[in-house]
Structure 1
């Protein structure tokens, strides 16, 4: 009788020498429909260690022809016992595949120049089964056959589609439906994640019409949460980190009321001066180098700096502020390499992705047309804290776009009872950041990390997610 290992070796033998095979013995028997989404070949993928991975489309609205693209990695050990962790990126309009999976916390990262992949020793699938989804429709490989859908995107629309995705994905992979389930993400996923958690929580109580999803909690990094606190945080961070002058700071403080939906003209003008100071540095990591590649056409350059200029014009008007930027990191040009890799025909074929159209790390049109209808997520925090969900917030302290100052402001506004006061936590005998515990919420900073914490501090971020999922305390003694 031929063993499963022998079958995989036979596949490897008949593949051309240019192929790279993931020799993976699945954790359990998969159905034929599941196997149709299994990835066996990724161009430029290292042959070891073995990785069990799947990708494809999950329909979220049959009538509109709307489907979200996912990439799933089994946990590196005991996947049927490990939690299931969904990861979402923000923007709105940026890809969880292009950021979370391919450059931050997935087990396969796009190498410099975008010609191959490398194994990530600090991948989060050491701790959990990792599920990445490109949301909302119009992001990455996700699509809709009803163009009017793209004009209706708002937080409620995105949450409903994400719930439909999760419901249908678990129907396709029912072996994971009893695993502990957590939701994670960064940036504008500070809206997506809590709102999806609330939707799951509410529908879990309606067992007649909805299945029970084993939701345990959520964790968000550098999360946009409430404009009033976030933008006061942006302004105070820029001044305290020597980005802007005393005069610019005092003028913005005088004319801006960030509680207003539509800012006064004087405030827009003052904040434009603030954001102009970031043109020569990276607002997403104020101490990182910027990308200096010439003749660039990367959508990431355009859309991610456009977030800076667009997001503060509350009346919906958009104004460019000159040369654009992309997020920083060890290699600030990584978004270009990801776009190069994911636009290869052989890569798309291996991922079971739509071969047509250009894949972009961020969709600028979604940012321009997204309907910002929810101004504060704090009521959801109050509700889900009372519900007993495990909630963590972490913040890279070198991020100027969703800075640690703003997160501290809104967390303090929750007025939660203090359990353990502000103190250092340690990683490899050095200060990894600070941690403070409240009743129902833990806040952790990551020292020296920018907007994309797992990219800048991969080892520290792995310790962070291990502590969150396992319940083991971060080291608070050197």
Structure 2
């Protein structure tokens, strides 16, 4: 039993305790308000709120990640939160996801104004774009060596730290339904972060990061099966000759850590003499002239470069014009430390010096499927860099039980693609889409996203 003196001490300390709690709670909306975007230069009127800024993920080395939140267009307080991650490694989610795929705005050719995206995913959810790891886009590190020692493990840990601290700044999203989505090398980032969250949540009876599942497109999944599937796509889509196909299979050991000189030579020959001047990320659409001369080999990598569709193939260039504008950076609370280099869509330094890259995501898939997460994998079927055949070869080795057999799904009165539903995973193709599915086929991609959030199978008819 407490003594009268202790009771008195407790009572006299209550005002102090109350004032401390009040100060902490008051700091939260103040931090949010500092990150609020009132309006972007050249932006059309919108009804939803936007926030952007930095979250420090490592004080000792000075790593801070830049985010951009576009809240749902209606009832944001009742809709889930979705984190979007582009890949590379080293490419910006602001450049790609936000500005030419699923974000609310598109950038005009001169980089002077924005226009609305009819199929923006924030019609269905609150979308959080993250530039990760440090060194990508506006995200930065005060330790220059970090640019040459980034890798899968640190990226996943920093992304987890970002979410923990971001949700302290935005407590209204704690316990909200949460999903992760991404593409390309995001095929590593997304499941690796999902596993980090799953492991972190074990310490809580009610986890405040309420992870429900993830969605990945044209995703780097398993190097061995991805590589076999990639070469099969090249041959089956008449991009390489029979002789080159046989030579690649003969000289390339897809299970080796490093490719041989003989393998490099035959792949280089295919790309330089047989592919022609095509956009490898969308093989049936035009390239952005005159910047279509750089080709990137991908048997062990997947660096995003050129893009297109019935859409303008030069949209990446417009993003680089827009986000290097001082008035845009000021409106977004970006580049506050004066980064000594231009904002670019991708960091070649990070890509070149990437230190660790897991050979396969399949063990993580198995663990998270067993944990009951909703997992969807989709593929644009005209991408030759991380093609549909690569994904099918990789997923085929999960040996999953089929729940709903292969069928065409519809977008309007047209086939949007094909899908097969397994007991613990859904796979879907998007017909006529390249590497960035929402860029090439925004309508079908929106249907796919809406179905994923609802946990419903894709529409079998129109």
User: Does the alignment reach a TM-score above 0.5?
Assistant: yes
1:441 aligned onto 2:437: no
- Verify the 8 A CA contact 1:235 1:274 in the aligned structure 2: no
Q: Out of 183, 190, 195, which is 1:193 matched to?
A: 190
SS in 1 for 2:52: strand
Q: CA deviation at 1:261?
A: 1.1
Partner residue, 2:451: 467
Question: 1:387 matched to which residue of 2?
Answer: 371
Distance (Å, rounded) in 2 between the aligned partners of 1:273 and 1:73: 44
Q: Do residues 99 (structure 1) and 96 (structure 2) align?
A: yes
Q: How does 1:323-362 map to 2 (within 5 A)?
A: 326-329=306-309, 330-354=311-335, 356=338, 357-362=341-346
Partner of 1:123: 120
SS in 1 for 2:286: coil
The reply to whether residue 214 of structure 1 matches residue 210 of structure 2 is yes
* CA–CA separation in structure 1 for the residues paired with 2:76 and 2:300: 45
Out of 377, 390, 403, which is 1:419 matched to? 403
Against the structure 1 CA distance between its residues 127 and 114, is the aligned structure 2 distance closer, same or farther, given a 3 Å change threshold? same
The C-alpha deviation readout for 1:411-431, integer Å capped at 9, x for no partner, is: 111001111111100111100
Q: Which consecutive segments of 4 or more residues in structure 1 shift more than 3 A?
A: 311-314
Contact 1:279 1:325 in 2 (8 A): no
CA distance in 2 between partners of 1:98 and 1:289 (Å)? 20
TM superposition shift of 1:263: 2.3
Q: Assess if the C-alpha contact under 8 Å between 1:396 and 1:453 holds in 2.
A: yes
Tell me the residue number matched to 2:352.
368
Q: CA deviation at 1:30?
A: 7.7
Please give the residue correspondences for 1:66-465 in structure 2 after superposition, counting only pairs within 5 Å.
66-207=63-204, 212-276=208-272, 277-293=274-290, 308-309=296-297, 311-312=298-299, 326-329=306-309, 330-354=311-335, 356=338, 357-465=341-449
What is the distance in 2 between the residues matched to 1:342 and 1:464?
29
Residue 279 (structure 1) shift: 4.8
Using the alignment, how far apart are the partners of 2:167 and 2:201 within structure 1? 14
**Number of matched residues?**
429
Q: 1:150 to 1:191 in 2, by over 3 A?
A: same
Between 1:263-272 and 1:372-381, the stretch displaced more is: 263-272
Q: How far apart are residue 138 of structure 1 and its match?
A: 0.3
Max Rg structure: 2
Q: Distance in 1 between matches of 2:62 and 2:51?
A: 22
2:76 alignment partner, SS class = coil
1:203-249 Cα shifts (integer Å, max 9, x gaps): 100239x9541000000000001111111111111111111111111
Coordinate RMSD, CA, aligned: 1.9
CA contact (8 A) 2:223 2:300 kept: no
State the alpha-carbon separation in 2 of the partners of residues 112 and 177 from structure 1.
Answer: 39
Gaps (5+ residues) in structure 1? 1-28, 315-323
Indicate how the Cα distance of structure 1 residues 416 and 123 shifts in structure 2: closer, same or farther if over 3 A, else same. same
Query: Within 1, Cα distance between the matches of 2:285 and 2:207?
Result: 45
> Which digits, 9 at most, give the CA deviation of each residue in 1:234-277, with x for residues without a partner?
11111111111111111111222211112232222222223323
TM-score relative to the length of structure 2: 0.90
C-alpha distance in structure 1 between counterparts of 2:300 and 2:282, whole Å = 22
- Is the contact made by 2:107 and 2:319 (CA closer than 8 Å) also made in structure 1? yes
Q: Partners of 1:95 and 1:55 in 2: how far apart?
A: 14
1:334 deviates by 0.7
Secondary structure of the structure 1 residue equivalent to 2:349: helix
Cα 1:279–1:177, aligned 2, differ >3 Å: closer, same or farther?
Answer: farther
Q: Residue 451 of structure 2 aligns to a residue in which SS?
A: helix
Instruction: State TM-score, norm by structure 1.
Output: 0.87
For residues 362 and 243 of structure 2, what CA distance do their matches in structure 1 show?
32
**Contact residue 28 and residue 169 of structure 2 kept, 8 A:** no
